[in-house]
């Protein structure tokens, strides 16, 4: 299950999408998500899906790999569908039983929300799949920089993300070791009711937290020893630079947004597109 989550994973490949500046990718992804809520016609979704397909193809990330990411959130998608299916009120009743009713509007809404959700997840995981965690945190740090004036600790947020990413594999490994060690002392994590199961987690969580705190303390000292003192006068080895392809991507996104907004306005007049 954990292995199936592709959000936040990186898929190494040589592609024009991989080579794009992380800042551009973050902004484009953000605008793409906004566009999903502007679009409200079938024609619009067809266009968005086609474009996304083209970008996925260009990224060289296998479609199978992307779809695997959806598997882990299938429950959320189904839940959204069911909620919309039954909760949307409308005039055209298709089916009704006791207090449950399905209307044409509800069916339409459920499909629309599911499509939106799938497009949203596939689109944003495409960004993380094609951007290394380091580039991503650097990009976020850069984009948050203007917000520093209003007290957003941009550098600290990025540093926290970097350290978290660095220590996730270490802590997972440690959890495995602690579990085995407690199992060797007869701990049972599989049987019992909810309360017993929750209780059985204590012998794992306590050593894990103690170890994590010790690691944090030692890491802080090691960082200080290497002259870390926040982002004051700090330079970076890899400087982010916008290149031709980044500007081209920006222009394409602008055009795409215009089309989406145009479609939305047109949909108001031309009902046959629905």
Site residues, another protein (CB under 8 A): 132-134, 162-163, 165-166, 169-170, 173-174, 177-178, 180-188, 202-203, 206-207, 210-211, 214-215, 218-219, 221-229, 233-239
Element (H, E) at 239: none
User: Which CB sits closer to another protein, 108 or 189?
Assistant: 189
User: Which CB sits closer to another protein, 95 or 209?
Assistant: 209
User: Which CB sits closer to another protein, 104 or 183?
Assistant: 183
The residue behind tokens 């959890």 is 175
Interaxial angle between packed helices 63-71 and 74-87, expressed in degrees from 0 to 180 and rounded to the nearest 10: 60
| Cβ 34 to another protein shortest distance, Å | 30
| Cβ 159 to another protein shortest distance, Å | 8
User: Which CB sits closer to another protein, 96 or 183?
Assistant: 183
User: Which CB sits closer to another protein, 46 or 173?
Assistant: 173
| Cβ 126 to another protein shortest distance, Å | 20
| Cβ 202 to another protein shortest distance, Å | 7
**Residue 96: exposure state from Cβ atoms within 10 A (0-12, 13-18, ≥19):** exposed
- Looking at the DSSP bridge assignments, the partners of residue 120 are none
| Cβ 67 to another protein shortest distance, Å | 20
| Cβ 178 to another protein shortest distance, Å | 6
Q: Which residues contact 144 (CB under 8 A, 6 or more apart)?
A: 152, 154, 157, 158
| Cβ 145 to another protein shortest distance, Å | 16
Which parts of 155-246 are beta strand (E)? none
Among residues 112, 58, 106, the alpha carbon closest in space to that of 84 is found at 106
Rounded CA gap, 44 and 163, in Å? Answer: 40
Compute φ and ψ for 231, nearest 5 degrees.
-95, 10
User: Which CB sits closer to another protein, 93 or 222?
Assistant: 222
Tokens of 201: 């987690």
DSSP 71-134: HTTHHHHHHHHHHHHHH---S-EEEEETTEEEEHHHHHHHHHHHHHHHHHHHHHHHHHHHS-HH
User: Which CB sits closer to another protein, 76 or 168?
Assistant: 168
231: DSSP letter: B
């Amino acid at each position: 299950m954990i292995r199936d989550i592709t959000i936040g994973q990186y898929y190494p490949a040589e592609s024009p999408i991989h080579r794009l500046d992380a800042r551009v990718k973050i902004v484009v992804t953000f605008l793409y998500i906004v566009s999903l809520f502007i679009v409200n016609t079938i024609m619009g979704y067809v266009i968005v899906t086609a474009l996304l397909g083209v970008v996925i193809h260009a990224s060289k990330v296998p479609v199978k790999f992307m779809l695997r990411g959806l598997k882990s959130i299938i429950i959320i998608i189904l839940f959204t569908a069911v909620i919309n299916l039954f909760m949307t009120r409308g005039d055209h009743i298709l089916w009704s039983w006791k207090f449950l009713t399905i209307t044409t509007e509800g069916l339409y809404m459920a499909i629309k929300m599911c499509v939106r959700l799938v497009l949203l997840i596939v689109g944003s995981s495409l960004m993380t799949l094609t951007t290394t965690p380091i580039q991503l945190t650097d990009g976020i740090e850069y984009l948050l920089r203007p917000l520093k004036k209003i007290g957003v600790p941009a550098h600290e947020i990025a540093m926290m993300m970097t350290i978290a990413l660095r220590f996730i594999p270490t802590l997972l490994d440690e959890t495995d070791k602690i579990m085995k060690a407690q199992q060797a002392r007869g701990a049972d994590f599989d049987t019992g009711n909810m309360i017993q199961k929750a209780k059985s987690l204590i012998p794992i969580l306590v050593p894990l937290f103690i170890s994590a705190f010790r690691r944090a303390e030692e890491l802080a000292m090691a960082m200080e020893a290497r002259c870390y003192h926040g982002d004051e006068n700090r330079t970076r080895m890899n400087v982010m630079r916008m290149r031709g392809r980044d500007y081209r991507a920006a222009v394409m996104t602008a055009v795409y947004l215009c089309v989406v907004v145009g479609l939305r306005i047109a949909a108001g007049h031309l009902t046959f597109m629905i």
